[in-house]
Amino acid sequence: MQRVRADAREDASRYRAVSLLARNWALLFLLLMVVVFSFSGKNFFALDNFQNILRLATTTLLLAYAETFVIITGGIDLSVGFLMGFSSVLSAQVIRKLCLAGWSPGACIPLGVAAAVLACLGCGMASGELVSRYRVPPFIATLGVLGVATGITLHISGGFPIGDLPAVITDIGNGYLYYLHPASGKGSFFRPPAAVTEAQIRELVRVFPNATVLIVAVLAALWYLLKHTRFGRHTYAVGGSTDAALRAGINVRRHLLLIYMLSALLAGVAGVVFVFQSGIGNHTSWGANYELFAIAAVIIGGASLMGGKGRITASTVGVLLLTVLENGLYLSGVEPYYRFIAVGLILILAVVIDQLFPDLF
């Protein structure tokens, strides 16, 4: 009797070990890649490069967070990539026009940002109403909305990037929290130290991109929202069983509306970040596939397209996995087309693992 129990316990713990590994496969894979690329890539394993990766991943992270909420409810939002373009164009245009008209940057910029974010909220409201009140499948609702938004975007921009924005924008977007000149010991917050020569600028150590400050704040807020509030709990419930949620008295219609508005809001923020990082506003081209990558990241992070599963932290790992992959391949001198192949293969791996261990949460 005793021996049987010992064997069973051994099997159980072995299963637990394997499933623990499988559950965190994305994170393990990420670490593995970091190790491999440190050897194969030029200057991969450097503070500069890592911060660069984080900085560039900002918009993708925001889009992935947007998709996380929507996918947990069992829906999908195809419009996030295009709303990002819409937001970048609208904010850039407003800022540009106002600044040319003589307003101070301190006034134009917040107005431009607010306009873009509000406009995206409006789009989210449209998607949300279509899905929640008119029962249009999310695929189609968000497809329709992105079409209208892209049309408007192109009308505003004429298909060309909008530049001529105040320089302070890119200063903020690409700036770091702290700058240090190691040799002389001079350091300062938010901008390079004043008394620094041309030669010394190259030796500056930059710590913590502003963009990452934003992401950390957003990540914390959204993580909290999903895990510790009623809103988050209801999001999982709606995704797990719309019927159960309805009969428990949850206003599913209103909840879904809010979810799509949140998604659009985050996409709007991503557009603003794009302007701050690149200094221009530009429409999203038809084959850019931002939303597909965001969705892939969320799935790699363990969510299911059926709904009911997904976590902000896991989506973050998913995005990092994809961006590190791209960065590492690039620094290792691999041509860009391999990136597509690699992403495809990893995604398949993600889903197959999910099939093997379906009860992982």
Partner 1 sequence: MKRQSAFVTYMGQRWAIVFLVLEFIFFSILGRGFLTLNGVQIVLFYGTTLALLAAGETFVIVSGGIDLSVGFVMGFATIVSAKLVAAFSRMGLSPGLSIALGVAITLAIGVGPGFVNGFLVGHLKVPPFLATFSVQGITYGIALLLAGGAGAAKDVPILANLIGNGYLLYWVRGQGLSFFIRPEVARGTRVVEMIPTMVVVTVLFIAVGAYLLKRTRFGRYTYAIGGNIDAAIRSGINTKRHLTLVYIISSLFATLAGIIYMLEYVTGKADAGASFLLDSIVAVVIGGASLYGGIGTVWKTMLGCLILSVLEMGLRMMGVPTFDKFIAVGLILIFAVLIDQFFPELIHKED
Partner 2 sequence: MAYLLEVKNITKRFGGLIAVNNVSMGVNAGEVVGVLGDNGAGKSTLIKVISGVYHPDEGRIFFQGREVTVGSPMDALAMGIETIYQDLALAENLNVPANIFLGREKLKVALGLFPVLDNSHMFKESKKVLEKLDILIPSLRNPIRALSGGQRQAVAISRSIYWDAKFLIMDEPTAALGVAEQKKVLDLVNRLKAHGIGIIIISHQLHDVFSVADRLVIMRRGEKVAERITKETNGDEVVSLIVGAETI
Kindly list the residues in this chain that would bind partner 1 in the complex (CB under 8 A): 76, 130, 134-137, 139-141, 143-148, 150-152, 154-155, 159, 286-287, 292, 295-296, 299, 305-306, 335-345, 347-348, 351-352, 355
The reply on whether position 305 binds partner 2 by CB under 8 A is no
d(CA 10, CA 21): 17
Stretch that binds partner 2, among 29-37, 62-70, 233-241, 286-294 (CB under 8 A): 233-241
Shortest reach from residue 249's CB to partner 2, in Å: 4
Shortest reach from residue 224's CB to partner 2, in Å: 8
Q: Which is nearer to partner 2, 273 or 298 (CB)?
A: 298
d(CA 122, CA 323): 30
Q: Which is nearer to partner 1, 155 or 254 (CB)?
A: 155
Contact present, 26 and 184 (Cβ < 8 Å): no
d(CA 59, CA 211): 9
C-alpha angle 77-216-91 in degrees, rounded to nearest 5: 55
Please give the sequence-ordered ranges of beta strands (E in DSSP) within 218-298, or none if there are none: none
R_g of the chain, CA atoms, integer Å: 22
The reply on whether position 5 binds partner 2 by CB under 8 A is no
Q: Which is nearer to partner 1, 90 or 180 (CB)?
A: 90
Shortest reach from residue 356's CB to partner 1, in Å: 10
355 binds, among partner 1, partner 2, none (CB under 5 to 8 A by kind): partner 1
User: Strands across the sheet with 205-209, in order?
Assistant: 186-189, 176-181, 205-209
Residue 61, CA distances (Å) to 20, 103, 124, 292, 304 in order: 25, 33, 18, 13, 18
Shortest reach from residue 257's CB to partner 1, in Å: 16
The reply on whether position 303 binds partner 2 by CB under 8 A is no
d(CA 285, CA 34): 31
Among candidates 97, 116, 48, which has minimal Cα distance to 264? 116
C-alpha angle 80-82-86 in degrees, rounded to nearest 5: 115
The reply on whether position 241 binds partner 2 by CB under 8 A is yes
The reply on whether position 308 binds partner 2 by CB under 8 A is yes
Shortest reach from residue 116's CB to partner 1, in Å: 18
> DSSP letter at 191?
S
The residue written with tokens 């450097």 in the block is 46
Shortest reach from residue 143's CB to partner 1, in Å: 6
Q: Which is nearer to partner 2, 206 or 253 (CB)?
A: 253
The reply on whether position 309 binds partner 2 by CB under 8 A is yes
11 binds, among partner 2, partner 1, none (CB under 5 to 8 A by kind): none
> DSSP letter at 189?
E
Shortest reach from residue 26's CB to partner 1, in Å: 15
Shortest reach from residue 66's CB to partner 2, in Å: 21
Contacts with partner 2 by CB under 8 A: the residue count is 22
Q: Which is nearer to partner 1, 86 or 179 (CB)?
A: 86
Query: To 10 degrees, what angle do helices 312-331 and 210-228 make?
Result: 150
State which of residues 229, 285, 305, 345 lies at the interface with partner 2 (CB under 8 A).
229
d(CA 252, CA 140): 19
Number of C-beta neighbours around residue 142 at 10 A: 32
146 binds, among partner 1, partner 2, none (CB under 5 to 8 A by kind): partner 1
Q: On the CB side of 239, how many CA atoms lie within 13 Å of its CA? A: 25
Q: Which residues bind partner 2 (CB under 8 A)?
A: 224, 228-230, 233-234, 236-237, 239-241, 243-245, 247-250, 308-309, 359, 361
